[in-house]
Amino acid sequence: MASNGEKQSAATKAPPAPSPLRTSKFCQPNMRILITGGAGFIGSHLVDRLMENEKNEVIVVDNYFTGSKDNLRKWISHPRFELIRHDVTEPLLVEVDQIYHLACPASPIFYKHNPVKFLCIRFFKFESGNGYIDGQIIEAQNALPMILLTSTSEVYGDPLIHPQPETYWGNVNPIGVRSCYDEGKRVAETLMFDYHRQHGIEIRVARIFNTYGPRMNIDDGRVVSNFIAQALRDEPLTVQAPGTQTRSFCYVSDMVDGLIRLMEGEHTGPINLGNPGEFVEPSTPQTGEFTMLELAETVKELINPDVKIVTVENTPDDPRQRKPDITKAKELLGWEPKIKLREGLPLMEEDFRLRLGVPKK
């Protein structure tokens, strides 16, 4: 039995020191960040970059429709990282400071698979008072999180103005087979701005132009991944007719840099992020805008000079030209891409060789 003296000293004893875990860097995140679609191509590179900052805690929500846990392998079981299998068309309560919303099938062959559902994925419905976003995400008791939408150059449709500035309203077919994607993203942009105006929600809208790099789904169906996989498999490169349609390709590390600058900056956007190729010195003329025939020739030259190039049928409403005007990104975010196509393709080739098991000869 304890004596009176012992009881007294127990009563006046200082409370035990808090667990050292509470003061560890892992338990004091300055920023809790949610990335929807973080197991996908761009999302997983964004995770890598955000995890470099020890003050960030990153939560990924993904249903693995086109993404894969493999893309996040190095972070699984990291104390500052969480991965949740979840379909963002169902509500989910999570308390976070920032949301990067990427979840959305992005390749035409995937988004045409279930257009009605995929149109809905692009919608947001916030209820400001209780911090609830129906069909998407979020619970925040105090302040609602800042949310960045990854919109697309597809909002310009088959553009009649070239290159495309953010002020261009676009030329979109509202009832075509691509409409679930481009009209869906247009509505998502509308909702973002209406919630911003009506409820004061802090928003950021990025209009992403064609982005490529390691970790693209090998059978994704988009042009750069198709051509590289075909070149490595010794299959003909399938240029969809007429082959004179153009795209401007941005390497994924540049894109991730742009997205983070947009989130951290003070401008809602919409802001174009893409690679118009303007940074190239006049002495080595090269544009960031390529016809699909030129892209096929470049892949052939760099990866497999023996491969054939064939022309195949195209799908309806394929935009004939696309190149971003990035004046706004340069001025407001101090951002411009650094990696040229000829530098980025070999980095992607390396990753595809590893995954396809095709060593370099």
Ligand X SMILES: O=c1ccn([C@@H]2O[C@H](COP(=O)(O)OP(=O)(O)O[C@H]3OC[C@@H](O)[C@H](O)[C@H]3O)[C@@H](O)[C@H]2O)c(=O)[nH]1
Ligand Y SMILES: NC(=O)c1ccc[n+]([C@@H]2O[C@H](COP(=O)([O-])OP(=O)(O)OC[C@H]3O[C@@H](n4cnc5c(N)ncnc54)[C@H](O)[C@@H]3O)[C@@H](O)[C@H]2O)c1
108 binds, among ligand Y, ligand X, none (CB under 5 to 8 A by kind): ligand X
Measured CA to CA, the distance from residue 48 to residue 30 in angstroms comes to 17
Measured CA to CA, the distance from residue 88 to residue 185 in angstroms comes to 15
Please count the residues of this chain forming the interface with ligand X, following the rule CB under 6 A: 18
Q: Are 87 and 136 in contact (CB under 8 A)?
A: no
Identified binder of ligand X from the candidate list 53, 114, 173, 240, rule CB under 6 A: 240
Closest approach of Cβ 179 to ligand Y, in Å?
14
**Type of residue numbered 290:** F
Measured CA to CA, the distance from residue 55 to residue 142 in angstroms comes to 21
Identified binder of ligand X from the candidate list 173, 238, 287, 291, rule CB under 6 A: 238
Q: Are 275 and 249 in contact (CB under 8 A)?
A: yes
Closest approach of Cβ 208 to ligand Y, in Å?
3
DSSP state of 261: H
According to the binding rule CB under 6 A, does residue 152 interact with ligand Y? yes
Measured CA to CA, the distance from residue 317 to residue 243 in angstroms comes to 14
Identified binder of ligand Y from the candidate list 35, 59, 99, 106, rule CB under 6 A: 106
Residue numbers 154-193 binding ligand X by CB under 6 A: 154
CB neighbours (10 Å) of residue 297?
15
According to the binding rule CB under 6 A, does residue 228 interact with ligand Y? no
Considering only 44-52, 63-71, 126-134, 234-242, which stretch makes contact with ligand X by CB under 6 A? 234-242
Identified binder of ligand Y from the candidate list 65, 156, 251, 335, rule CB under 6 A: 65
Considering only 33-41, 74-82, 193-201, 335-343, which stretch makes contact with ligand Y by CB under 6 A? 33-41
Estimate the share of the chain in helix, then strand, then coil, as percent rounded to the nearest 5.
35, 20, 45
Please report, in angstroms and rounded to a whole number, the separation of the first and last CA atoms in the chain: 81
4 φ/ψ angles, rounded to the nearest 5 degrees: -55, -40
Q: Are 268 and 317 in contact (CB under 8 A)?
A: no
Q: Are 232 and 306 in contact (CB under 8 A)?
A: no
According to the binding rule CB under 6 A, does residue 263 interact with ligand Y? no
Considering only 6-14, 48-56, 99-107, 132-140, which stretch makes contact with ligand Y by CB under 6 A? 99-107
| Active-site choice (111, 156, 181, 251) | 181
Identified binder of ligand Y from the candidate list 105, 277, 324, 337, rule CB under 6 A: 105
Residue numbers 24-63 binding ligand X by CB under 6 A: none
According to the binding rule CB under 6 A, does residue 303 interact with ligand Y? no
Long-range contacts of 326-329 (CB under 8 A, 24+ apart): 326/272, 326/273, 326/274, 326/276, 326/278, 327/165, 328/165, 328/166, 328/271, 328/272, 329/258, 329/271, 329/272, 329/273
Binding mask 278-317 for ligand X (x = CB under 6 A): --------------x---------------------x---
Q: Nearest to residue 346, comparing CAs of 282, 302, 295, 309?
A: 302
Closest approach of Cβ 125 to ligand Y, in Å?
15
- Which lies closer to ligand Y via its Cβ, residue 247 or residue 307? 247
According to the binding rule CB under 6 A, does residue 106 interact with ligand X? yes
Q: Are 232 and 272 in contact (CB under 8 A)?
A: no
Considering only 131-139, 192-200, 209-217, 264-272, which stretch makes contact with ligand Y by CB under 6 A? 209-217
According to the binding rule CB under 6 A, does residue 155 interact with ligand Y? no
Q: Are 183 and 222 in contact (CB under 8 A)?
A: no
According to the binding rule CB under 6 A, does residue 258 interact with ligand Y? no
Active site residue 132: no
Annotated active-site positions, please?
181
Chain residues that interact with ligand Y, rule: CB under 6 A: 37, 39-43, 62-67, 87-89, 102-106, 121, 150, 152, 208, 210-211, 217
Chain residues that interact with ligand X, rule: CB under 6 A: 106-108, 152-154, 210, 222-223, 226, 238-240, 245, 247, 292, 314, 318
